[in-house]
């Protein structure tokens, strides 16, 4: 299992977008895509924003719906087009904000 990442520092604009994306929930885990660490990269530009995201599993049955919800939430917040890029990085619990919950019994 990978070491937990260092605390990421975000610009005010990036943090506001991340906060807007907290409304998008993974229906199986009941946690937001931000809490789960699924937002991997933000590239906010005046005319187009690119978000690189991952899923918790490669064949996540809710993947297409979650990706569309992320795009819509980001566009609503930014009021500009948003392109989502599905990253190839494998998700693991250490990517979560603050690490996985204790009740998961992973650490």
Q: Would residue 87 count as lying in a domain?
A: yes
- Per-residue confidence in pLDDT tens, the chain, 107 aa: 444 445 678 899 999 999 999 999 999 989 999 999 999 999 999 999 999 999 999 888 999 999 999 999 999 999 999 999 999 999 988 899 877 766 655 54
By the 10 Å C-beta count (0-12 exposed, 13-18 middle, 19+ buried), 5 is classed as: exposed
- Cβ contacts of 61 within 8 Å, gap of 6 or more: none
Q: Would residue 94 count as lying in a domain?
A: yes
Count of domains observed in the chain: 1
Structural domain harbouring 94 = 28-101
CATH code, domain carrying 32: 3.30.300.130
- Cβ contacts of 79 within 8 Å, gap of 6 or more: none
Q: Would residue 80 count as lying in a domain?
A: yes
């Amino acid at each position: 299992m990978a070491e937990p990442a260092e605390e990421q520092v975000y610009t005010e604009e990036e943090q506001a977008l991340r906060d807007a994306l907290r409304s998008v929930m993974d229906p199986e885990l009941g946690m937001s895509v931000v809490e789960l660490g699924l937002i991997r990269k933000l590239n906010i530009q005046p005319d187009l924003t690119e978000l690189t995201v991952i899923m918790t599993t490669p064949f996540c049955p809710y993947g297409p719906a979650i990706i569309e919800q992320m795009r819509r939430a980001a566009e609503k917040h930014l009021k500009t087009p948003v392109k989502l890029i599905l990253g190839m990085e494998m998700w693991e619990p250490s990517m979560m904000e603050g690490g996985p919950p204790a009740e998961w019994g992973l650490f």
